Amino acid sequence: MKGFVVQIDPSRRSFVVSHEAVPGVMAAMTMPFDVRDAKELDGVAPGMTVEFTLVIEKDDAYVEQVRIRKYEPAEQDPFTAQRLAQLKRMMAPSETGQRVAVGEMVPDFTLIDQARQRVTLSDLRGKVVAVNFIYTTCALPQFCFRLANHFGAIQRRYRALMGRDLVLLTVTFDPARDQPDQLAQYARRWEPDPASWHFLTGDVPDVTRVCGLFGVQAYRDDGLFNHSSHTAVIDREGRLTANIEGNQYTTDQLAALVQAATDRR
């Protein structure tokens, strides 16, 4: 089986997975699975894609052989991946900010939104915060636009929670070009509530640090950017609960992560 991890509870030897359909066995759905050995869940975290074997016995069912499936982008330019890998090696943590691991507190930061208001992460404590990264002149719809579109769907689905329990942050990694007016124009297609969905920019060192906290790398190439993609969820206490790499997830899978985080009090 293959699925997207929503929650994990090693102490109970279980995890919740949004999985693909298994013909003749079960439809695609989000459900909990048990493992007999807690070591099966070592290294597994919400937001990861996993493959595993579901063993169904007469009176029991359990999972074994859990394998983490790494995100593999389909690069149009075979040299792009090589250049991005080289960039990762060149960029020291002092330049990008030390990447936060799932379960750790996210360091505080302040950026400026599309309404020219300062947004500070610590001021959002007590709310679930989802974060993604884009630049407004991205030419490929399956990347930045798709990530923003996921947030648009989350805003519609959880309208009753927006602002009170849930805040969305979309950070540009092109702050030199993406100033508040540009971000406001880009954001109009999703009609965001500026009090609960902030499109953020700032000084280059500040934006670079925030990108580094979540593992985002980006560098300019002939006017565009070669970049990695990440979508993160931060819980009410300010801890990172998930960091999805890439664009190969669905709105429903992101919604499951958000729902799990908002349900926890």
What pLDDT is recorded for position 223?
64
Separation CA 19–CA 3 (nearest Å): 4
Percent of the chain scoring above 70 in pLDDT: 89
Residue labelled with tokens 């040299």: 79
pLDDT at residue 181 greater than cutoff 80: yes
Handedness of CA 28, 31, 37, 38 (dihedral sign): positive
State the pLDDT at residue 222.
64
Q: Is the pLDDT of residue 73 over 70?
A: no
Contact partners, residue 110, CB within 8 Å, separation at least 6: 118, 119, 120, 121, 202, 206
Q: What is the pTM of this model?
A: 0.81
Residue 45 has pLDDT above 80, yes or no: yes
Band (pLDDT 50/70/90 cuts) for residue 94 is very low
Strands ordered across the beta sheet of 128-134 = 197-200, 166-172, 128-134, 230-234, 240-245
Domains of the chain plus CATH, in order, are 2-69 (2.40.50.320), 78-263 (3.40.30.10)
Identify the band that residue 93 occupies on the pLDDT scale cut at 50, 70 and 90: very low
d(Cα 44, Cα 41) in Å, to the nearest integer? 5
Given CA atoms 189, 195, 198, 202 in this order, what sign does their dihedral have? Answer: positive
What size, in residues, is the chain? 265
Statement: residue 21 has pLDDT above 90: no
Helix, strand or coil for residue 48? coil
Q: Give the least confident one: 102-111, 115-124, 135-144, 166-175.
A: 135-144
Across the range 47-70, mean pLDDT stands at 91
Nearest to 131 by CA among 239, 242, 245, 231: 231
Structural Rg of the chain based on CA atoms: 19
> Picking from 15-24, 91-100, 208-217, which range would have the lowest pLDDT averaged per residue?
91-100
| First-to-last C-alpha distance (Å) of the chain | 31
Token pair 């206490």 is found at: 237
